[in-house]
Amino acid sequence: MKGQTFVIMAIIIVIVMVMLKSSLNFVKIIENKRYIESGLERYQFQNVKDELEKTIQISYPNGKNITDNLNEFLKFSRQRFKSRTIELNGLFLEAYFPTIETGIDTRLNVSVLNLLGETINTINLSFSGSGVGQTQTNYTFEDYNILDTNFTFNLQANVYNYTLNITYNTSSENATKIIIIPTEVGKTKYIYYFDIRMVSNKLEQRDILESTVILNESS
């Protein structure tokens, strides 16, 4: 009987050890799977940022073409990721002005695309600088909508940096962003500020893309 008991105990110990090893292997497999999936999402987020900048490059030299192409790319990408339970959100601001002449009124076109995934209750745009102080306020700016507006400036020097402030609030955040508008006689410029976010049940990513592009130069 003692011998049988010993054999039974040995079998139980072996079974327990096998189960523990299997459990540890299963946990490791799950961890590896999460690591790989998170790495893939980081790669996808970087790819979206790269494609945004490529879209700008291939849309030269027309500022309106850049805006239209970017909006189409963002909406397409958002729908594609949403089908995989990944949220591609953000606020996308673009500003464009044609070739500047000294002492002549120039129109600054500003476009804001709301992809925050929620309604903006109030959004305030303020354009300021030498001889300029213009403000526009809009209410109930729905998700997936575009706000287009214009400001006017009259450049007296060869180069001057105006300031565009954007302040908004939603049910989950209040934010203020300051964007420099670098004007220059003889230049046509496109300025962009993209606050881009990607959220899934595994990872939250966020980055700011901003730059100024000279679309053409006077001879």
Chain mean position to CA 164 = 18
Sheet holding 204-217, edge to edge: 146-154, 105-115, 87-97, 187-199, 204-217
Is the separation of the CB atoms in 124 and 136 below 8 Å? yes
Phi/psi of residue 85, nearest 5 degrees = 55, 35
Give the alpha-carbon dihedral of 45, 83, 52, 127, to 10 degrees: -100
Structure tokens at 181: 């508008």
pLDDT at 129: 93
Task: Look up the pTM and report it.
Answer: 0.80
Distance CA 135, CA 128 (A): 8
pLDDT along the chain (219 residues), means of 10: 58 62 58 68 93 87 76 89 92 94 94 95 95 91 93 94 97 96 94 95 93 76
Give the alpha-carbon dihedral of 29, 35, 37, 43, to 10 degrees: -150
Distance CA 74, CA 72 (A): 6
3-state secondary structure of 213: strand
Structure tokens at 97: 């002005």
pLDDT at 219: 45
- Domains observed in the chain: 9-217 (2.60.40.10)
AA letter at 8 = I
pLDDT at 51: 93
